[in-house]
Each structure stands twice: as C-alpha cells, then as structure tokens.
Amino acid sequence: MLSESIEGLNIKSKGIYVDLTFGGGGHSREVLIKLGLKGRLIAFDQDEDAEENIPDDKRITFVKANFRYLRNFLRYHDVAEVDGILADLGISSHQIDKPERGFSFRADSTLDMRMNLSSDLTAAKVLNEYSETDLISIFRTYGEINNAGRVANAIAVSRKKNPISTTVDLEKALGNLVPKFKASKFLAKLYQSLRIEVNKEMEALEEMLEQTLPALSPGGRLVVITYHSLEDRLVKNYLKSGNLRGELEKDFYGKPLVPWKLINRNVIIPSEEELAENNRARSAKLRIAEKI
C-alpha cells in the first residue's frame, strides 16, 4: 500500500515529514520525490542495517533510534511541529530475508529477533530464561495461541535438557504441538509473539502514538499501517478518541471532543494485485487521520 500511504500524507512541497519506520527506505524515497527543495524528512529506524539504505539527499535526516523517542529527537533537531507522520509497523522485508537475524522459521538460524542489535534480549533468552507462566502470557496475548499452556510447558521441559538456541531446536521442542497441516500459520503466530516481546513493540507503539498528536501541526496527517489485531486495535482507538482506551471525552454540553478527522472511515486493505506481488502484505491495514 505504498501509493495509498504516500497519498494519505497529503504532502506539501515545503513540509516537514517523519518516516518512523525507515527500513528499506521505500516510503522515504517516495516522500522525497514529492517534497520540494525546501522540504524536509526525518527518518527513524533502530536497526543498524537500515543505514545502508539512506539515500544521498540533504533533505533527509536519519535518526538511529526507536520511534518511541519521537518527541525527544524532534526537539533535538529543532522541529516544533511536522506536517505528516508515517509508520509502517511490523517487520521489514530486509530483516526477514536475512536468516541470521532469526525472524523467520523457514531457515535454520539462531533465535535472535532483535530489531536493535545492541539490545541484550533475544528470542533465545526469552525461551530459556522466562518462567513458564510468563511464556504462556506472551504466547496467548501476543500470538493468540489457543494451546499456549501446552506450548510453554513443552519448551520448559525441553530446555531443562538442552538450551533452545535455534529455529530447529524450537521445532524439536514443540514436536507434535506443531499442527501438520497448519504449521506455517501456527509458527507465524509463535514467532510473532516472541518478536513482539523481544522488541517490546506494544509498549513502544503506545508511547509513539501518544506523541503524534502534539507533534503534528493542525491539518497534519498520521498514516499507520498495522499487521496484527493488537496493533490495529490500539491505532483504531487512538484515532477514534485521541487516547489509547478509545473512550470519547465530552465537553460541558456533551459534545464529543474529537482531535482527529478520519480520512478513511473504513480501513484500507491491500488490493488483489498487490497481494499477488507481495503476499506478506495480506494482513496489512491502513488507517489515515488528520489533526483537527
């Protein structure tokens, strides 16, 4: 949904925009095409590999940091307000395509899953050191895995014999708990839950969302692409009400105090043509709102 998200930003030639998830740089390059010579783009990414994709363009400022620090770095770069903020959540294709990063269950690799390689917490550390109760909570909450208790127990039993360090180790530990005909779907949920925990993604998303409204100028746009229900629920609530609970506040006369104007009332999903080219976009949902 590259074109839809860029269109949603409603880019002004002299505007200031933020790409919170630089990754491979695809969105940023499209923003730069629409910006004039006096326009400015600030791009965030905590993954050091993303730095290889920075275009040679004086209008872009790259920030190697988690997007939860949006407010701090805007202040550091003397930016009071911006005209648009884009966040393409989830995992980048360049991270999935590097087996050694451990994000994919399709290759035999170490269970890393860190988006920030300077972090100490890896997926292997979660699997080997977290309590069985904590593992159940992670699998159930972040992966929506029905048999989370049995999965956590199998891991707890297996790690007593040998540490779970690789993707192969994990599948061996799970054994028959991986459904024969729905293995990919099951493992995708399991890996998603581990990735979210390793990178503290939900906490970071909450912190970032609450900073977007004060960071935007009136009429500024927030464009967010989510990939699972937990993310989408948070974004939907925030754009509906201006808070993460989704609870509308009202003025003295009972009129709802709504800080956002929804640009797309109905969530935008990938077209059949896009899915044919990129199957990874199948769960993507795009929401766009304008600060009132």
Q: Which comes out higher in pLDDT, residue 95 or 232?
A: 232
Token representation of residue 156: 């707890």
Please check whether residues 10 and 88 belong to one and the same domain. yes
Please check whether residues 48 and 187 belong to one and the same domain. no
Please check whether residues 187 and 68 belong to one and the same domain. no
Residues 6+ apart with CB under 8 A from 246: 236, 237, 238, 240
Report the CATH number at residue 148.
1.10.150.170
Please check whether residues 55 and 9 belong to one and the same domain. yes
Residue 107 domain-assigned (yes or no): no
Letter for the amino acid at 86? Answer: L
Residue 37 domain-assigned (yes or no): yes
Strand order in the sheet with 285-291: 60-63, 40-44, 16-19, 82-88, 216-226, 285-291, 260-262
Residue 68 domain-assigned (yes or no): yes
Residue 208 domain-assigned (yes or no): yes
Expressed in angstroms, the distance from the first to the final Cα of the chain is: 25
Give the number of domains in the chain: 2
Residue 147 domain-assigned (yes or no): yes
Report the CATH number at residue 80.
3.40.50.150
Please check whether residues 142 and 265 belong to one and the same domain. no
Task: Please say which residue of 163, 178, 198 terminates a domain.
Answer: 198
Token representation of residue 267: 């969530």
Please check whether residues 65 and 209 belong to one and the same domain. yes
Q: Write the pLDDT tens digit of every residue in 8-29.
A: 999 999 999 999 999 999 999 9
Task: Please say which residue of 170, 198, 226 terminates a domain.
Answer: 198
**Mean pLDDT of all residues in 235-253:** 92
Please check whether residues 89 and 125 belong to one and the same domain. no
Q: For residue 221, list its beta bridge partners.
A: 84, 290
Between CA 168 and CA 130 the distance in angstroms is 19
Please check whether residues 268 and 143 belong to one and the same domain. no
Beta carbons of 84 and 28 less than 8 angstroms apart: no
Give the model's confidence band at 96: pLDDT under 50 very low, under 70 low, under 90 confident, else very high: confident
Residue range of the domain that includes 244 = 2-93+201-291
Letter for the amino acid at 223? Answer: V
Please check whether residues 44 and 87 belong to one and the same domain. yes
Predicted pLDDT at 92: 76
The Cα diameter of the chain in Å comes to 65
| Full-model pTM | 0.93
Please check whether residues 137 and 271 belong to one and the same domain. no
Task: Please say which residue of 165, 198, 231 terminates a domain.
Answer: 198
Give the model's confidence band at 94: pLDDT under 50 very low, under 70 low, under 90 confident, else very high: low
Q: Write the pLDDT tens digit of every residue in 260-281.
A: 999 998 999 998 888 888 877 8
Residue of 54, 166, 36 lying closest to 99 (CA atoms): 166
Q: Which comes out higher in pLDDT, residue 272 or 66?
A: 66
Average pLDDT, the chain: 94
Between CA 7 and CA 28 the distance in angstroms is 13
Q: For residue 60, list its beta bridge partners.
A: 41
Token representation of residue 274: 């896009």
Please check whether residues 167 and 185 belong to one and the same domain. yes
- Region of residue 66 (left: phi > 0; alpha: psi -120 to 50; beta: else): beta
pLDDT at 97 over 90: no
Residue 113 domain-assigned (yes or no): no
Between CA 137 and CA 132 the distance in angstroms is 9
Between CA 259 and CA 215 the distance in angstroms is 13
Residue 85 domain-assigned (yes or no): yes
Residue 101 domain-assigned (yes or no): no
Beta carbons of 102 and 157 less than 8 angstroms apart: no
Predicted pLDDT at 67: 98
Strand, helix or coil for residue 243: coil
Please check whether residues 151 and 222 belong to one and the same domain. no
Beta carbons of 151 and 174 less than 8 angstroms apart: yes
Q: For residue 289, list its beta bridge partners.
A: 222, 262
